[in-house]
Chains A and B, each alone.
Chain A
Amino acid sequence: MFSDLAGSKILFDIKIFLALIASISLCGCRPEPAAFQPNRLLVARMESELQVDLSSLERQAESALIELFGSPDTPHWPPVLTDSANYSTLVDTYSLARAAGPVGRDKKKVEHGLFRKHCAQCHGITGDGIGPAAPFLNPYPRDFRRGSFKFKSTVQGSKPTFDDLVRTIESGIPGTSMPAMANLARSSHYENDISILANYVRFLSIRGEVERRLMMELVRDIDEEADESLYDLRLKQTDPEQFASQKAKIDEVVQRVARSWLNAQVSKPSFRTEEPAASAVPLTFSSAEQRNAFIASAARGRKLFQGEIAACSQCHGTEGDGHGKLLDFDEWTKDWTIRAGIDPKDPKQWKPLKKLGLLKPVPSSARNLHLGVFRSGSSPDAIYHTIVEGIDGTPMPAAARLPSVKNGLTDEQTWDLVNFCQALADSDICQVLEAKDGN
């Protein structure tokens, strides 16, 4: 009787044993210490461009960054920015402490490790967009290190405002893996968490951009054969003057990056020439006159959409279904492919870089406007802003507009385009427009 049960019991023991062995072998007994990862793709790009080995300078840049920004467990705001009241407003130290480190609560029940809890799985602990889950996501998670953000209220090329970051974190981005964290804001226990995360995103972005500029601006001019260095801590003792000069150059870069965040310029508020239609699909109108005016405007927008000045149809397709002729990549991909002389369409060229953290290059797909959902906001004002300012880092350009561009779009024409974009999501109005076009 006992022997038939012995098999089952032995199986339990075997399973427990296997679980222990596998856990230890797959994960290791101790977790690795958290560290910001260097921008190896950028270094590889520069090495191929300059034809020199940059490993020593890369290490120096890394040690300067640790000195300036600390580690993922104990990050800090660079001393050069703490001295100025203006720069101190960019990132507050309380937020850094709460967002960084491992997930948990301290003895006072204050939660920390928010970035690892909510963001690092996709964005990576460095904010480089190469978190463990990144290869499965479409679009890929944002790499904050370029300092470039797609969804914002500021002018083209400008940094986002703090509220822009908060909005993206709070509302998420529909149709992507970026979740809405509004749940956190609803609970009194977590109400500050979103602004803490926005602060930390700004911190990671500034850190990443400083790293980038150190490599691209300072390293380029350093001649190692002439015994020059980027940041040599030994000089602190042997040649304090030289060390101070190195530090001043680095601090200048840090200040320049921080200034670009302070100077983020909000786009001029838009105005409508007529009463806005509801953004919901199907579109609703208060009167037949309003509907007719909207259709007339959308019909003009359709012509502009397919015309040469706006040239929207080149990417979005004649009917706005996203099937245009142009195939392009975003700036994050171009950074280490086209700019490094690598063809993103040729796997033989980019596959060797996979070990440096490269994700398979994916062409930017133009939006299918019939979906009626716009990632930077589906309200008429948000669509207007997207047309006027473009989407940073993507092939979506700012529209050619008067007065800066001769023969550019007028404001009324821009609103015609907005109305056409809205009309595309409404099949009834689309049919009316097609019929009008046929006539």
Chain B
Amino acid sequence: METEHRNLKPVQLDQPNVTNPSFQSTHRWALSVAMTIFPLIWVGGLVTTQDAGMAVPDWPNTYGYNMFAYPISAWIYGPFDLFIEHGHRLLGSLAGMLAIGLCIVAWRNEQRQWLRWLCIFLLLSIVMQGLLGGLRVRLDARTLAMLHGCLAPLVFALAIAVVVMTSRWWKEEVGPAVPRPFFRWLAIGLTISAFVQLFLGAQLRHIQPWAKPASFTGLVHLHLTFAAIVSLLVISVAVVGQHRTNRQLKGIGWPTFILIALLLIQIALGVGTWISNYALPWGDTHPMLARYTIATKGFTESWIVTGHQATGSLIIATALILTLRVWRRSAHKYEK
């Protein structure tokens, strides 16, 4: 088997010089977009946690003002829900503007045609997210709010994909490629499962108050089932990543370790989210549980719940990085 691998041709790279400053600028712009989208997801999550989606009833204006001309004092010193909703809009606009910058830079410097179009697609996704957020307000529709929340990690993942594909690592010359179908499919499976899991979580967060308890119960059970599936897949990619054929690959190990760390954080945040919302059902068994009183919209509680949702996005993004990198360093049938 190993002899067979040695006979495989190295991956042919058709990329420009990686030290070219114009090439690096595309990567930096992509990085800035991704780094803006992540806090955007946090603030968006906080909007849901605080039920602040309708804190500003008009869109694209803010209480009749042009969004960018809304008085800073009214924003900063206003109610907290208004503060985060308007902040979410401003941050979203910033992400859109940075994505426009990325498209211009990519169009001027990037030689890969498909990557230019991927940047355009990223810009369009951000614009679409903005429109969806606006529609959520104009129609006062919770379903659209949920869709808006579910698509956000996909846009973040897309931005991460552009970051990975414009990186120096992507273009480095590598040795003989090895077929890694199991690892590849495991990583893809993890990315998809992590997204399904986040989608189920969003359903739980956006459930209508008149929903039947059976619907909520079903969603909780599904969310727990997918938590187990994602955990299993994270452990599996970590184990497979340590296999001798994969261990020497640069840039594969750290995403698997980060995934393990994120999984542990996510499980803790998941338990914390439940306790912050509903407490534990064993309040009469231990003095500590008996004394615990949930604080509505409390600072810690809000950050735990929002952190749970944002960590979900990070897991998807890290799984995607791993998927793209394993894919990149794998031999494919057509390369033989």
Contacts and interface: CB of A to CB of B under 8 A. Distances in A.
A9 interface: yes
Interface of A: 1-5, 7-9, 11-12, 15-16, 19-20, 22-24, 26-32, 34-35, 37, 102-107, 109, 111, 113, 116-118, 120-122, 124-125, 130-138, 171-184, 187, 189-190, 322, 357, 359, 365, 367-368, 371-373, 425
Contacts of B208: 27, 31-32, 132
Nearest to A116: B209
In the complex, which of the residues B118, B278, B286 has the most CB atoms of chain A within 10 Å of its own CB atom? B278
A176 B209 contact: no
A100 to B, nearest CB: 12
A132 B284 contact: no
Interface string B316-336: 000010011001100010100
Interface string B294-322: 11111000000000000000000000100
Interface stretch (B97-105, B215-223, B254-262, B264-272): B215-223
A109 B79 contact: yes
A29 B146 CA distance: 12
Nearest to A137: B278
B244 interface: no
A102 B51 CA distance: 11
Contacts of B220: 136
Contact of B213 (A8, A131, A173, A373): A131
B290 A174 contact: yes
Contacts of B151: 16, 19
Contact of B147 (A20, A118, A132): A20
B5 to A, nearest CB: 18
Given A12-B158, A175-B289, A368-B284, A132 B215 contact: yes
Interface residues of B, number: 76
Interface stretch (B33-41, B136-144, B225-233): B136-144
Given A15-B154, A103-B51, A172 B293 contact: yes
Among all A-B residue pairs, the 3 with the closest Cβ atoms: A104-B54, A175-B283, A120-B209
B291 A175 contact: yes
B57 A132 contact: no
Interface of B: 12, 14, 51, 53-58, 63-64, 78-82, 114, 118, 140-143, 146-147, 150-151, 154, 157-158, 161, 165, 188, 191-192, 195, 199, 203, 206-213, 215-217, 220, 277-279, 281-287, 289-298, 320, 323-324, 327-328, 332, 334
B146 A23 contact: yes
Given A15-B154, A132-B207, A177 B279 contact: yes
A344 to B, nearest CB: 18
Contacts of B188: 11
A184 B279 contact: no
B53 A103 contact: yes
B240 to A, nearest CB: 19
A5 to B, nearest CB: 7
Given A23-B147, A31-B143, A103-B53, A179 B209 contact: no
Given A179-B293, A373-B287, A34 B279 contact: no
A423 to B, nearest CB: 15
